[in-house]
Amino acid sequence: MRVSDLIPTQVRERIPAIGSDAKTALRDTQVYVRLYDRRSSWNWYVLEFDGERTCFGLIVGRATAVAGQFSLEELLNLGSGGGGPDDGDILLDSEFLPQTVADLALVHPQVNDVLSEPAPRELHAAEGLVSLEE
């Protein structure tokens, strides 16, 4: 399986570029893609994409969730079963319907932990603020 096989072209075209939606609160941000490991409880939800390999999104396991960037190449390496090109364990959920992160938290309550903390992109935006106390 190739990196480009994880997210089909017609789906890639709908996903905003990384950093382009930084002003939207994470809970209101749209989730476009669900990738999952068929051998475990791990899910990768794509919110933004660089168009080639890097995604910004949520990584959700049985009891934990984190927000951040992940690489499609890394996912392929995680799921390499050692067999033929169709032997990958990381799959695209073709039935997944776009929804907000808040809606996703209804299905995965552990996502609420991510929503209670500033998102990485919110922290990055805050780095550019000037202190008025200096």
From first to last of its 134 residues, the chain has per-residue pLDDT tens of 677 778 989 899 999 999 897 788 899 999 999 999 988 899 999 999 999 899 999 999 999 999 999 999 999 887 555 444 445 689 999 999 999 999 999 999 999 999 886 655 555 555 555 555 55
Going edge to edge, which strands form the sheet with 65-71?
65-71, 54-60, 43-49, 33-37, 90-92
- Domain holding 34, by residue range, is 3-120
Residue 132 belongs to a domain: no
Place of tokens 């903390």: 117
Phi-psi region of 82 (alpha: psi -120 to 50; beta: other; left: phi over 0): left
Residue 53 belongs to a domain: yes
Distances (CA, A) of 10 to 6, 33, 77: 12, 12, 24
Q: Is this structure's pTM higher than 0.85? A: no
Residue 131 belongs to a domain: no
Q: Into how many domains does the chain fold?
A: 1
